[in-house]
Amino acid sequence: MPCQCEPDMGYQEMKEETDRVTAMLCALCELWEASGYPLAKLPPGLHVWWDRHKEVDRKRILEEQRKLDRLKTRASAISKLTTEERNALGL
C-alpha cells in the first residue's frame, strides 16, 4: 500500500502538512542535485515533480523580486516629493 497522510486531518492541517513535506522534499532534491547524482536515480516520477517544482519556485521568486522592485521604486519616488506634495496625494 502506498504511503498516505492521516485520514483524520482537516483541510488546514493537511495543507500545513503538505507544505512542510514539500519543503523537506525540496531540500532533499536540492541536496541530491548538488551532489551530482543523476536525477534518473530518483524514484519514478520524482524528477518530474522536481523539475515542475523548480519552475514554480523560479516564477515565485521572480514575482517576489518584481514586487520588491516596485516597492523600492515607489519609495524612491515618494522620497523625492515635498511634504506638501505627499499631503496632496494622501501619503
| pLDDT of 80 strictly over 70 | yes
Quote the pTM value: 0.68
Q: So what's the pLDDT on residue 2?
A: 63
The answer to whether the CB of 55 falls within 8 A of the CB of 76 is no
For residue range 19-44, what is the model confidence (pLDDT) as tens digits?
Answer: 999 999 999 999 988 998 887 788 88
